[in-house]
Structure 1
Amino acid sequence: MELTQKAILVGVNFNQQQDFAYSMEELANLAAACEVEVVARLTQNLNRVNPSHYIGTGKIQDVLALIEQYEANVVIFNDELSPSQIRNLEADLECKVIDRTILILDIFAERAKTKEAQLQVEVAQLQYMLPRLIGLRESLGRQSGGVGTTNRGLGETKLELDRRKIEERISALNKELETLVAQRQTQRWQRKKKGIPVVSLVGYTNAGKSTIMNAMVSLSNPSADHKRVFEKDMLFATLDTSIRNISLPDNKSFLLTDTVGFVSKLPHHLVKAFRSTLEEAAEANLLIHVVDYSNPHYEQLIQITKDTLKEIGIEDVPTIYAYNKADLMEIEIPRAEADRVYLSARNSVGIQELIGLIRDHIFDNYIQCQMLIPYDQGSLISYFNENAHVLATDYEPNGTKLTLECKTVDLDKYQKYVIQQ
């Protein structure tokens, strides 16, 4: 696809923000993800936002000069603009003006594949548009008649019709989402009932969460190519929550979930719309915070992820850190220590060490015991061979004696067969 849009990026550094340079770099990456060619950048230091134009009015002339010089047809601002700011800027610049929020929403709309993700993105887009309808069609005139009056329809403008259509659409989409959320909650409840631990991958976009998931799937089942998830070196490659069962050699298993990646200034409409998907992480037994260790700003990105998790109410879930892409740094890998592991998911180096850390955190509900299973309960022997770690099997006059490690739920369920604990 040819690049037809040429953009000027505009950013304001309010009160000397430390991460300003990186957020402008990221804005360029977001534009590239939307097939937009960045031809120039303009920045300004300010203490506060200019309420009418976001940038100082003197800078408008500089932007106009850049538009003319590079034949640009869109100006992209690094923060969310108010409806009046967009209106004033478009009037003065005589070209399309968009902000960081709409850029991210466009990428999400492009990448969403499942029904749930598509509904979530559409809700976020419509909620963003709603306040921005005002003033877009000034020529349509003002509405006459107040709420509840009989002549309301006579003075109703196209703008109000659009507003009502959008509100109705948001309401319909939310109803559809509620059904999907209820299904997801039922599935979570069933998993919890079975006592299968859930591990959730979280982190900044493009840190390598999907690559880690695929490396674990391959290690767990080398022939399970069909269970691999989409991975690509680009922003927001994954929007749809994937869940995979990771089986370990000692018959222990856990569910691994992959969540949408985060980004600085993630639009609040989007966080709200994706809340139900992100709740997978809220109910996990363990989080794996995936970090792109090769990114010079990785500490900043860790903090953004932590802040976003806090915003959606995820604060007290035990967390281990996977410092991915460590092969690009001058350190020896794999390396595991306390709650972190340095690895290269693409090269499958350090995945065993990561699984070792996961194992230490989530399998504390396994208990070693001995059971004497009557010979007429052969199916139970098969069950434990598949769902527990059988350490020894002895045949005695009254039945089969198993020395095993099993889940506490199974221990409680089959307590009558336990002879030693």
Structure 2
Amino acid sequence: MKHLGLILAQDISADTDLHLQELKSLCATIDIEVPFVVTQKMRARKPGLLGQGKLAEIKAAMDERVTHIITLQTLSPNDRILLQEYFPNQIVMDKFEVVVTIFERRASSTLSNLQVKLLKLQMEYANLAGSYEGSSKIGGGGKNRGQGEQQLQIDRRHLMRRMNEVREKIEKEHRKNELMSQRRQKNSVFTVALVGYTNAGKSTLLNTLISLNKSSKEHKKVESKNQVFSSLDTATRRIDIPFHAPFLVVDTVGLIHECPAELVESFKTTMRSLDEADCVLAVIDASRHDMQAQLETILSYAPQLDEDKLVIVINKMDINPVESSHIKISAKDPQSVMNLVAYLDERQTKGYIVVKGTCDENEVAQLFQESSDCVITKLIKGNESMYCEAKIAPHRQDLMALLVSPASTQRS
């Protein structure tokens, strides 16, 4: 069922229109259509976000079909009370609550469900003081106020205890993920992490890579939809494309602009994936007109990210073919994605020894088994033997013995 929403926003930056478009997209994900937007330029924040005079004007002119009041900026408890007084028949939400609602609908794993639970408890805790302040206005002061403050402290302690319990469970899940990551690292497989705005095309890119695999049927594709936060969990897939070095790809949760601190905490698993990766692909959506802002947002989530790992990939070139010195792709186009694969191949095998020679089928099979240390780049079958070109890791020069009379060797 579609609902009708009205967005309220302080116009305090040159990018306000872009941020409003993002919020509209978030609202659409939870079935709220937003045909009405009210913005106000202001130097200082006013009660209820826009001030009581403006709120009275909005209330008098508002379409009676509106069911939700959504704010771009995060609301304080007092803001929320005032807005609810002006709009008693509407549901009042800020951007943070919209995102949490999406998270709640999308959560599927133990970790993502725990993160949603923690976010909701944090929202409840933040709004506690405001709820008691509102009730104290109704009930008066003196003894009633003292009882209210006492109950507030009791409820705060109760919520804090519940939040700590959930945090412990989240940390336990993080430790499980770290063990899995350590096992992958022991296997010495080159790891690539995808990071970017929600709906930038990361999952589409991963699915195209999966389709290029030697046996794509064995590799489950990830959910990819034209919507924000289609997945809340990191997904890892092995990519093994013929005549290219194999690698792991970690698809991370999509990011949004100006994420509240509580939400940033819920992206901790994504940030850990970036730290552990050998290469981080920052996927930038060319169909939006804020490419630099997208990159700045990515970097704000991971300020400690090693710049040597970071590779900028401009996606959706089929929609908006921009000029850029960075890698340009259309994630839906396998041929376009192969240009990215070639780049990753060169990056992964830099310093490998290029060997050319002949071998039999058994020796080729042995070389294929050592795919992380030996990449067969060319194979021509002859009458009695095979001509083979390969890149071999410097610490595995023993593999060169499998090639009879290597025609030549050189560093890649």
Fold-level similarity (TM above 0.5) = yes
1:226 Cα deviation after fit:
4.9
Q: Which aligned pairs between 1:218-367 and structure 2 lie closer than 5 A?
A: 218-224=211-217, 226-250=219-243, 252-310=245-303, 313-329=304-320, 339-341=326-328, 343-364=329-350, 366-367=352-353
What letter matches 1:187 in structure 2? Answer: M
* Structure 2 unaligned spans of 5+: 357-361, 380-387
Question: Residue in 2 aligned with 1:86?
Answer: 80
What letter matches 1:134 in structure 2? Answer: A
Question: Residue in 2 aligned with 1:373?
Answer: none
Counterpart Cα distance in 2 of 1:285 and 1:365: 16
Check the 8 A contact 2:9/2:39 in 1, yes or no: yes
Counterpart Cα distance in 2 of 1:156 and 1:306: 43
Question: Residue in 2 aligned with 1:49?
Answer: 45
Counterpart of 2:129 (choices 106, 122, 134) is: 134
Counterpart Cα distance in 2 of 1:246 and 1:351: 13
1:221 Cα deviation after fit:
3.4
Counterpart Cα distance in 1 of 2:127 and 2:205: 40
SS state at 1:212 partner: helix
Counterpart Cα distance in 2 of 1:323 and 1:128: 36
Residue 384 of structure 1 pairs with residue 370 of structure 2: no
Superposed CA RMSD: 3.4
Question: Residue in 2 aligned with 1:150?
Answer: none
1:222 Cα deviation after fit:
5.0
What letter matches 2:339 in structure 1? Answer: E
1:223 Cα deviation after fit:
3.4
Counterpart Cα distance in 2 of 1:66 and 1:315: 52
What letter matches 2:104 in structure 1? Answer: A
Cα deviation, 1:241-286, whole Å, max 9, x if unaligned, reads 0001111323621110000111112221111122133210122111
Check the 8 A contact 1:202/1:288 in 2, yes or no: yes
Question: Residue in 2 aligned with 1:151?
Answer: none
Residue 101 of structure 1 pairs with residue 96 of structure 2: yes
Question: Residue in 1 aligned with 2:382?
Answer: none
Q: Given the superposition, is the C-alpha separation of residues 338 and 73 from structure 1 closer, same or farther in structure 2, using an over 3 Å criterion?
A: closer
Counterpart Cα distance in 1 of 2:364 and 2:74: 61
1:24 Cα deviation after fit:
1.2
Residue 72 of structure 1 pairs with residue 58 of structure 2: no
Q: Which aligned pairs between 1:83-232 and structure 2 lie closer than 5 A?
A: 83-94=77-88, 95-137=90-132, 138=135, 141-142=144-145, 157=151, 159-224=152-217, 226-232=219-225
Figure out how many residues of one structure are paired with residues of the other and give that number. 384
Give aligned-pair identity as a percent: 25
Taking structure 2 as the reference length, what is the TM-score of the superposition? Answer: 0.82
Q: Given the superposition, is the C-alpha separation of residues 382 and 130 from structure 1 closer, same or farther in structure 2, using an over 3 Å criterion?
A: same
SS state at 1:320 partner: strand
* Structure 1 unaligned spans of 5+: 146-154, 371-378, 394-401
Counterpart Cα distance in 2 of 1:392 and 1:339: 28
What letter matches 2:180 in structure 1? Answer: Q
What letter matches 2:237 in structure 1? Answer: R
Counterpart Cα distance in 1 of 2:313 and 2:120: 33
Check the 8 A contact 1:39/1:72 in 2, yes or no: no
What letter matches 1:31 in structure 2? Answer: C
Cα deviation, 1:360-389, whole Å, max 9, x if unaligned, reads 22222634579xxxxxxxx99855331223
Question: Residue in 2 aligned with 1:28?
Answer: 24
Q: Given the superposition, is the C-alpha separation of residues 391 and 167 from structure 1 closer, same or farther in structure 2, using an over 3 Å criterion?
A: closer
Q: Given the superposition, is the C-alpha separation of residues 132 and 317 from structure 1 closer, same or farther in structure 2, using an over 3 Å criterion?
A: farther
